[in-house]
Amino acid sequence: MDDDIKLGLLSKFKRLRVLSLSDNDYIVELSDVISNWKHLRYLNLSGALIKRLPEIVTTLYNLQTLLLSRCVYFVELPTHIARLINMCHLDIRGTKLQEMPSQMGKLMKLQNLSDFFIGRRTGSSLKELGKLQHLRGDLSIWNLQNVVDVEDASEANLKNKRQLRKLNLKWDGDGEDSGRERCILEQLQPPTELEYLHIFVIMLVSLKELLIEGFDRVQVVGPEFCGSCTSIEKPVRSLEILSFADFPEWYEWIPCVGAFSCLQELHIFNCPFLTKALPTHLPSLTKLQIDGCQQLVVSFPPTPSIVDMVIEDDSRDVRLEKLASGLYGLRVIGSISLDLVLEWLEQMHVFSATLEAIQISDCDSLRCFSLELFPS
């Protein structure tokens, strides 16, 4: 029995509202018979072998949910899908789509959009996302290398999509214009309420400085931050300055070994629950600055020689372990216990010829300081 006959048997149900044809190998094409279901609100074709939907689908004005996940041969959404103004849920995960139809911003009732693909020449631009004010849950934005106007990234208005839980930002390119890609990344401004942010920046191989701040719900920064741990290419391999700031729920950083071989400065600010945060291989690190990280344990292998380490007021309970003996300068700023400072120094065994300067500022607890602690 061919597809048309099977669907034709359903055509007599004129008031059909829900239709699920998921994981049916025989569904390779939808005929125009689908236009008979004017009242259809839910259509599930997940796992079907279809390549595209007939344009007549866009006459199903009551359709609210369209599920196309795992349609591995699916390459094209209907040109006029923007006519489905009642659409609330569109799942296109695991398809072969490369771009979205034009005017996706007209689907203003969309709440769940699994993926948004930016085409090379035609289709919806990134700024169309700015009109979708009710998006929530998970969203992946693909082909950011195709963004024509950097301002489109700002007009996507991600920062006000506060109900998004997970956001994936994905490029696919060679990184010939890393400055432009960095501008796009800065303009995107993901919402701070995110629980999960994954940035695929394989092309940003020449990025030197990166500041990430203000993600209120991020709890773990995993190895995906560095790209694939099995890949020779590390998207952060050229980073020289890395800063994290204002992560109130972040408690764990799981870095990828060898990803930060060029990192010279590491700054961590206002991450009160962060414990063990530092990568184990930082051969080029010369400056470490910590502020507002009360539970942090700083531990290094014996390879790097940190020239300058700054521990500030709000990190008074930070613990230092196994720090390299090549420390040249230590700056302590704020009302940190002098006993704790001396304990740090003793634990680190830094009283050697390499230590050239200790600066203690605004430390009210300081009353006396014995010079016998230092070598002659």
Q: Which residues of 149-179 are buried (b: 16+ CB within 10 A; e: fewer)?
A: eeebbbebbbeebeebeebbbbbeeebeebe
| Average pLDDT over every residue of 250-279 | 84
Q: What is the pLDDT of residue 232?
A: 43
Helices (H), 84-207: 151-155, 178-188
First to last CA, the chain: 95
- Cβ atoms of 133 and 110 within 8 Å: the answer is no
- Least confident residue range of 49-53, 179-183, 204-208, 228-232: 228-232
**In whole angstroms, what is the distance from residue 91 CA to residue 70 CA?**
9
pLDDT band at 217; cut points 50, 70, 90 = confident
- Least confident residue range of 94-98, 139-143, 202-206, 329-333: 202-206
Whether 326 has a pLDDT exceeding 80, the answer reads: no
- Least confident residue range of 138-147, 236-245, 348-357: 348-357
Q: When comparing pLDDT for 194 and 314, which is higher?
A: 194
* Average pLDDT of the chain, as a whole number: 80
The pTM of this model reads 0.66
Residue type, 367: R
Residue type, 160: N
Summarised one tens digit per residue, pLDDT across range 34-54 is: 888 899 999 999 999 999 999
**CB-based burial label for 136 (10 Å; 0-12, 13-18, 19+):** middle
pLDDT band at 201; cut points 50, 70, 90 = low
Summarised one tens digit per residue, pLDDT across range 168-189 is: 998 876 555 667 777 888 899 8
Whether 303 has a pLDDT exceeding 50, the answer reads: no
**In whole angstroms, what is the distance from residue 236 CA to residue 253 CA?**
15
Q: Name the residue ranges covered by the structural domains of the chain.
A: 208-376
pLDDT band at 139; cut points 50, 70, 90 = very high
Whether 311 has a pLDDT exceeding 90, the answer reads: no
Q: What is the pLDDT of residue 120?
A: 83
